[in-house]
A and B are shown apart, each in its own frame.
Chain A
């Protein structure tokens, strides 16, 4: 009896050790690394030097609406042809927030990801993604130069991804229930009381930037220049605004179908959205409209990145090349409601004015759109006399808002 008891304890201890070794993910061990612009370390990883034979599959992590394979709508499918021509079977997993994308990418299960600017640097710094060899992407020369080698998709001149497209986060409202039609983010902040209990907001720390953007124009004395570069005082002001907003919020969304449903049945009447959500809701006969408010907006400029742990890199490169090819990039841009990254896509859209409507080549327009970015302690707006709040502080602040 004694011995068996001892054995049992031994087994338990062994399991505990295994569990300790296996759980969580840890910082990449040792190895060379170089400092990035924001002062963070970048692991030395090499890009792929040439394509091999396709591995037969590719696992894709994407924003909803980016990679449609016909399962949502049989007519919307830009994956099947790719599978036939390359032999790479595509499996798609969608995510609702950048935080979710980072966490899923870290499992090493996925070969490529469509990452926004608030995810890219975290993935680069943690060694989850590797640099890309842009010469292997045949469509790369056709991509707008203004999207290439930007602070959110490159470090020290090394490119970490292929631009996908860009757009703004919009203000959506029920045309029958919100009158007069709003033209300002004030509809979800200072004047949210008019729709008390019917306001919706995006459920991620990055939404703090939306409040900061609103404060940029309504409280100039705070001196916010960039909604992702907030010092302690500015962050506190944004948090206060969001706490006040919470009293009028019905629910927070990160699942886009949940937002569609909430607007359809009227539990939400006004709030932040993506164009694709407005499109889906309108297709389902919900009386909604989405506008770009006068204060400008936060937005995104997304990047396709390749996992450092990928075992299907050739398929991943071929998939990215396919996604940014003129025809497909045009289809995605129209379906999602965004500006394409490939300039030749503008000639392929079903609506000949699509690129004009979404300001694909209008840099002055996008100057008003503040792309999602990762806040770091070195102020992104160039201030050197103060320390800015980093994403950890934003996360803490967001939890505090949600739990207040």
Chain B
């Protein structure tokens, strides 16, 4: 009996936190999305309406949702393309001594302030900034700038799980493949990729979800670009229920993404 009481005492606070703060907030967002606002004072009026969701189906907002998903997908792909060779180098090629140093180098940017990094990119992307003086051109603020900046910000979240997967991949598997006549490319395709796949999917949960909800980096380097996050921000002061409907749409996208990832068996790798 005492043990059960102890267990209850231990679990109640975190459970309360989870239910009230996490689920409660989600329920609140979802419920608010069915209300409307007073046209003059912008106060929330609690009359049930589906107008907010109907409005989401207009080309303007479908465009924003599509654009946001595209950005999140591009960021994820870019992170994979950079992270896989880098993690391979770290785990397989680099001497064991420098491995921890490389790992630290990957982690260091995570400790720097998010805002500092975003503003650093704002400075680098500006005319006559670093990019222009080195490469002779800069994409300027906008879509490309957002994809580059977000890829930079979330890259460590992709490198770490992929690196761990490379570390766990037994050398003997690669040797066995070679012994059986597999060329390097075949080995990569049929042995390495299947072993990495769950790790990539796990990393993509971070890169995709963080990109989907981001609005700060977008407002710093995005110029006049509108994504889901900035659209929510713009509506939150004037039309809270519609902002809630927009927020719900990103939750729906994320739930669908997580379901897809679960099928890849990646959630055990998080």
Q: How far is the CA of A19 from the CA of B42 in the complex (A)?
A: 20
Interchain nearest-CB distance for B220 vs A (Å): 8
Contact indicator A26/B46 (Cβ below 8 Å): yes
Q: How extensive is the interface on chain B, given as a class?
A: 35 or more
Tell me if B24 is interfacial: C-beta within 8 Å of chain A. yes
**Interface stretch among A10-18, A133-141, A233-241?**
A10-18
Q: How far is the CA of A266 from the CA of B223 in the complex (A)?
A: 13
**Number of residues from A at the complex interface, CB < 8 A:** 48
Contact indicator A390/B39 (Cβ below 8 Å): yes
CB-nearest residue of chain B to A123:
B41
Inter-chain contacts of A15 with B (CB < 8 A): 19-20, 23-24, 27
**Interface stretch among A96-104, A310-318, A351-359?**
A96-104
Interchain nearest-CB distance for B108 vs A (Å): 26
Task: Produce 1/0 per residue, B10-44, CB < 8 A to A.
Answer: 00000000011001110110011001011111111
Which listed residue, B20, B25, B40, B128, touches A122 by the CB 8 Å rule? B40
Tell me if A125 is interfacial: C-beta within 8 Å of chain B. yes
Contact indicator B237/A102 (Cβ below 8 Å): yes
Contact indicator A103/B40 (Cβ below 8 Å): no
Q: How far is the CA of A125 from the CA of B39 in the complex (A)?
A: 12
Q: How far is the CA of A100 from the CA of B236 in the complex (A)?
A: 9
Interchain nearest-CB distance for B56 vs A (Å): 12
**Interface stretch among A50-58, A152-160, A243-251?**
A243-251
Tell me if B126 is interfacial: C-beta within 8 Å of chain A. yes
Contact indicator A12/B23 (Cβ below 8 Å): yes
Contact indicator A126/B60 (Cβ below 8 Å): no
Contact indicator B60/A103 (Cβ below 8 Å): no
Which listed residue, B19, B39, B64, touches A12 by the CB 8 Å rule? B19
Known: A102-B237, A246-B224, A252-B224. A126 touches B41 (CB 8 A): yes
Could you tell me which residues of chain B, from 64 to 122, have a CB within 8 Å of some CB in chain A? 64, 122
Contact indicator A27/B40 (Cβ below 8 Å): no
Contact indicator B24/A18 (Cβ below 8 Å): yes
Inter-chain contacts of A404 with B (CB < 8 A): 60
Tell me if B204 is interfacial: C-beta within 8 Å of chain A. no
Tell me if A267 is interfacial: C-beta within 8 Å of chain B. yes
**Interface stretch among A78-86, A217-225, A392-400?**
A392-400
Interface core residue of B19, B27, B38, B40 (most chain A CB under 10 Å)? B40
Q: How far is the CA of A361 from the CA of B180 in the complex (A)?
A: 93
Could you tell me which residues of chain B, from 117 to 133, have a CB within 8 Å of some CB in chain A? 122-123, 126-129
Tell me if A367 is interfacial: C-beta within 8 Å of chain B. no
Inter-chain contacts of B28 with A (CB < 8 A): 19-20, 22-23
Inter-chain contacts of A121 with B (CB < 8 A): 40
Known: A26-B43, A250-B224, A403-B63. A395 touches B238 (CB 8 A): yes
CB-nearest residue of chain A to B39:
A392
Q: How far is the CA of A126 from the CA of B241 in the complex (A)?
A: 17
Contact indicator B231/A403 (Cβ below 8 Å): yes
Inter-chain contacts of B239 with A (CB < 8 A): 395
Q: How far is the CA of A246 from the CA of B123 in the complex (A)?
A: 23
Tell me if A265 is interfacial: C-beta within 8 Å of chain B. yes
Tell me if B234 is interfacial: C-beta within 8 Å of chain A. yes
Which listed residue, B20, B35, B63, B141, touches A267 by the CB 8 Å rule? B141
Task: Produce 1/0 per residue, A245-269, CB < 8 A to B.
Answer: 0100111100000000100011100
Inter-chain contacts of A392 with B (CB < 8 A): 37, 39-40, 42
Q: How far is the CA of A40 from the CA of B38 in the complex (A)?
A: 11
Q: How far is the CA of A40 from the CA of B226 in the complex (A)?
A: 34
12 A-B pairs with C-beta separation under 8 A: A19-B27, A24-B32, A27-B43, A40-B40, A97-B237, A121-B40, A122-B40, A125-B40, A250-B223, A250-B224, A267-B141, A403-B60
Other A-B contacts than A265-B128, A267-B127, 9 sampled, CB-CB below 8 A, are A15-B20, A18-B20, A20-B27, A100-B237, A250-B223, A374-B40, A390-B39, A391-B39, A399-B60
